[in-house]
Amino acid sequence: MIQAIGLTSNPRKDLPPAVDDVSFEAHTGRVTALLGASGGGKTTTLRLMLELQQGRGVTYFRGRQLHRIAHPSREVGVLLGDVPGHPARTVRGHLRMLCAAVGAPVTRADDVLEGVGLVSLREQRLGTLSRGMDRRLGLACALLADPHTLVLDEPTGGLSAREGDWLHGILRAHAARGGTVLFTTDDAKEAARTADRVITLDAGRLVADQDAAEFARTRLRPRVAVRSPHAARLAALIAKEARSLRRSVEVVQEDGSRLSVYGSTCGEVGEAAFRHGILVHQLADEVGDADHAAADARERAPVEQGCSAALEAGPGAQSGPAVRQGPVSSAACAFGEPRESLNEAIATPTHDTVAERSPATGGAAAASGSDGATSSTASAPRTASAPRAASEPCAASAPRASSAPQSPPSPLPPPIALRTAPNPLRPLRYELRRATGVGTGYLTVAVAIALSALLCLFLARTGRTPQLHLLAAWPSELPLPPAALGAGLLGALAFGEEFRHPALAADRGTVPRRLGLLVAKLAVAAATALLLAGLTVGCDALLLHLVYGGELTEVPSDWLSATVSWISLMIGCAWAGVLAAGVFRSTTAGLAAVLAVPIVVVPLVQKALEGPSVRSAAGFPGRLRELTLVEWPFGVERYVAGGLRVVAQPVGSALMLSLVALLGAYLLTAGRRRAR
């Protein structure tokens, strides 16, 4: 159950708030529609509910606010706009990455893909999906953690009638299984047809909170939709009969073959067509526009030409004998032959003569059978939605009740048991799937190795570069070697891609600043930098040996400290990129922070350390061993001394200083957001 209380957005300058004191409830087991015109405050209301936008008010999801729920994605499934995924990631890879984030098994991705009908497109890239397929994927992401509540912002926007019916069938099945569904729409007919309760917003204010039946009765204009090749003639005949009976009937010709008849019923229009031998392709009771202004804006022609007829009835006007009160389905009625078939369809309505059809499909139905009874075939059957009774009166346009029986086969994926216990490997699995799901990382590694190889060959030809710098392809003219820049870029992408394509931001507002996720990103960045460091030196040494012989690839005497310095530089650059991109929310800012270390920070450190040294730290490893009173095995003090020498260097000390500053800034911003 959703309880929204006093939702009010912050006003901008002198403008009134987009949402002003909106309160409503969405009950469990029911589908609730939030209806309003474009710009009426529907999306802002959802963002306030999900704490994605600052404002006043409070929203409870089964008695708890969203920020007090440990795992929001397991309670609320969210679909706001398009899927925020990397366009180069595959459909299946995107879902598997989210499975690792929410603690679901990887097989859950295949289950939801089958549920939303994307199995055949599981290897497609997100950037190649159509609007309808993107909506299906968004629904799959919302259903991935098997949430209790679904919150969707205009889920059928841009979809065809068939796709819209399918999606509403999914929502109906979720509500029937005990969940809560809230979706927004600007189509009053869609809200009345698919929801159990309709909440109407106008200019950010709540104007109505009604059951769907009451909404359809009080706020919509019922009409009869007619399709006929002789629409103009039928319009003139209906207008003439209404004039003779002194009844208020309005006929609007939508196009060449479609009529909308206001103030009449399916039976009256069908009998008029039968009496005059007019062929009818469709006869359906629909729900019209939410107000009369939309209908009055349509183009009208004189009554004699069959485009419009509106007659005001006097007091006590009676319906003519042509009106039939027999039950006729509220779905579309299609006829092949105008005389016998139409007569039997109106006079003896049964379950065999009419079939359910959504008014939004708008197509013609099947032709008459051999026994005279007509049949209708729905072009887009509702999956798992409650069928409308065939004995429902044609004039009633109320949606089906939530207590109606559901179809046995459910389109939803089966329930799952999520891992509720804390698991330190969950963020690591997510980060690994994120990093390996797109080719950006592989391309960065390949470019860094190729540039290092070409640069080391050029430096070896000139003969002015020391061996250690030659193996690292680090000329004195560059602030950092290509491999270190590649490691920094890989680290910056760890957070930069998250902010550019926020796959985890649907239920959190932004990329989650959790310590576990940060540690996972640092660990993956360090492993990637270590791999890149080894590949770079190995490839450079191999090329130098092949081109210039083994003279340039001899192992130096101080290989240990050089190796520690090289690895520390690579990991430090990668971590600087991770932290800077997390603080400044940009890949470019992360890479700029890496370049700022040798260009800006190192000169400052050198200036601070310049001058005569009075004391030195000679003999520090021996004094450290004496302090611990333990004999270190395997010469560990040598490694400690090597690490200290790395830190003592200007680049090492500047890099360490930058990492400490960036880590403090990251923790500060994370703490401020949590406190807010």
Of 555, 546, 216, the closest CA to residue 395 belongs to 216
| Cα atoms found within 13 Å of the Cα of residue 356, Cβ hemisphere only | 17
Phi then psi for residue 352, to 5 deg, are -85, -20
Of 131, 61, 133, 63, the closest CA to residue 91 belongs to 133
Joined tokens for residue 633: 């095995």
Report the alpha-carbon distance of residue 161 to residue 380 in Å, rounded. 8
Write down the pLDDT at residue 639.
59
Torsion of CA 140, 141, 145, 149, to 10 degrees: -80
Write down the pLDDT at residue 536.
93
List Cα–Cα distances, 476 to 210, 445, 465, 472, in angstroms.
74, 22, 8, 12
> Quick check: 521 and 610 in contact, CB under 8 A?
no
Write down the pLDDT at residue 629.
55
Report the alpha-carbon distance of residue 264 to residue 270 in Å, rounded. 10
Residue keyed to tokens 């004998």: 321
What is the DSSP secondary structure assignment for residue 370, as one 8-state letter?
Answer: T
**What is the edge-to-edge ordering of all strands in the sheet holding 250-253?**
250-253, 258-262, 222-227, 282-287
Residue keyed to tokens 């072009």: 379
Report the alpha-carbon distance of residue 162 to residue 165 in Å, rounded. 5
**Ordered DSSP codes for 273-287:** HHHTT---SEEEEEE
Show the DSSP H helices in 374-439 as ranges: 425-436
* Residues in the chain where the model's pLDDT stays below 50: 290-408, 675-676
| Cα atoms found within 13 Å of the Cα of residue 237, Cβ hemisphere only | 17
Number of residues in the chain: 676
**Ordered DSSP codes for 601-667:** IHHHHHHHH-S--S---TTHHHHHHHHHTS--GGGHHHHHHHHHHHHHSHHHHHHHHHHHHHHHHHH
Burial class (CB in 10 A: 0-12, 13-18, 19+), 539: middle
> Quick check: 223 and 188 in contact, CB under 8 A?
no
> Quick check: 434 and 501 in contact, CB under 8 A?
no
Report the alpha-carbon distance of residue 225 to residue 337 in Å, rounded. 18
> Quick check: 282 and 365 in contact, CB under 8 A?
yes
Number of H helices, E strands in the chain: 23, 13
Of 335, 334, 338, 372, the closest CA to residue 356 belongs to 334
Show the DSSP H helices in 348-439 as ranges: 425-436
Joined tokens for residue 132: 């309808």
Phi then psi for residue 58, to 5 deg, are -145, 150
Phi then psi for residue 296, to 5 deg, are -70, -20
Write down the pLDDT at residue 571.
92
pLDDT digits (tens, 9 = 90+) for 226-268: 999 999 899 999 988 888 888 888 888 877 788 888 888 888 8
Identify the sign of the CA torsion 134, 135, 138, 140.
negative
Give the distance, in angstroms, between the CA of residue 253 and the centroid of all CA atoms in the same chain. 40
Q: What is the CA radius of gyration of the chain?
A: 35
Residue keyed to tokens 């729905």: 378
b/e for 127-146, b at 16 or more Cβ within 10 A?
A: eebeebbbbbbbbbbbbbbb
Contacts of 376 (CB under 8 A, 6+ apart): 331, 332, 333, 334, 354, 355, 357, 365, 366
What is the DSSP secondary structure assignment for residue 374, as one 8-state letter?
Answer: B
What region, left, alpha or beta, does residue 197 occupy, with left being phi > 0 and alpha being psi -120 to 50 degrees? beta
> Quick check: 226 and 51 in contact, CB under 8 A?
no
> Quick check: 651 and 481 in contact, CB under 8 A?
no
> Quick check: 204 and 18 in contact, CB under 8 A?
yes
Report the alpha-carbon distance of residue 382 to residue 358 in Å, rounded. 9
